[in-house]
Amino acid sequence: MIDSPEPDVIAALAEALQDLGAVFIEENGGGIGVRLKFNSSDAKRIARLEGEGGIVANDRVP
């Protein structure tokens, strides 16, 4: 049997991750999750880079 951390330990870990930019996503019909929060400058650079590299195609691998 695996023991779970105490609630105060979980809260401290969550707060530390949030301080470093993690965003916890609640259940929204697609599941729960975590993503990294970018500032507006980073988001603009990522958007620009995503448009480079040629034709956009389906990423599915058979």
Residue 11 lies in a domain: yes
* 18 touches 24 (CB < 8 A): yes
- Going by C-alpha positions, the residue among 51, 30, 47, 50 that lies closest to residue 39 is 47
* 34 touches 22 (CB < 8 A): yes
Here the tokens at position 31 are 């599941």
Residue 1 lies in a domain: no
Residue 17 lies in a domain: yes
Q: What total number of domains does the chain contain?
A: 1
Full domain range(s) for residue 46: 7-50
pLDDT in tens, 16-42: 999 988 999 888 777 788 888 888 888
Residue 19 lies in a domain: yes
Residue 61 lies in a domain: no
Regarding pTM above 0.95, the answer is: no
CA–CA dist 20, 39 (Å, integer): 12
Residue 54: band (very low, low, confident or very high) from pLDDT cuts 50, 70, 90: low
Residue 56 lies in a domain: no
